[in-house]
Amino acid sequence: MLESKQERAFEILQEAARKLAYLPDKLAELSYQQPEEALRLLRNWGEGKQPVNSLFEEVTDLLNSKRRQD
């Protein structure tokens, strides 16, 4: 049981690291489409107001909604 908890914790950390690695690229992409939203999210991230998982999901949702509109 301990091993499965450790494996799950490792998976969670891997996912968080992946999101953290891609967040700057996603924010840059968003800045061309919705600069005000990108700046708001960047400020939230920089000021520690929003966790990385939440930021990543919001940026991804905004980018996907723009793609659906095109």
Range of the domain at 38: 22-70
**What is the mean predicted confidence (pLDDT) over 40-56?**
95
Q: How confident is the model at residue 1 (pLDDT cuts 50, 70, 90)?
A: low
**Mean of the per-residue pLDDT values of the chain:** 92
Q: Give the closest residue to 55 by CA, choosing from 31, 24, 32.
A: 24
Q: Does residue 1 fall inside a structural domain?
A: no
* pTM greater than 0.85 (yes/no): no
Q: Is residue 26 part of a domain?
A: yes
Give domain status of residue 58, yes or no: yes
**Is 49 part of any domain?**
yes
In a domain, 38, yes or no: yes
User: What is the pLDDT at residue 70?
Assistant: 67
* In a domain? residue 48: yes
Contact of 26 with 56, CB cutoff 8 Å: yes
Q: 54: buried, middle or exposed (CB in 10 Å: 19+, 13-18, 0-12)?
A: middle
Domains of the chain: total: 1
Task: Flag whether 70 is in a domain.
Answer: yes
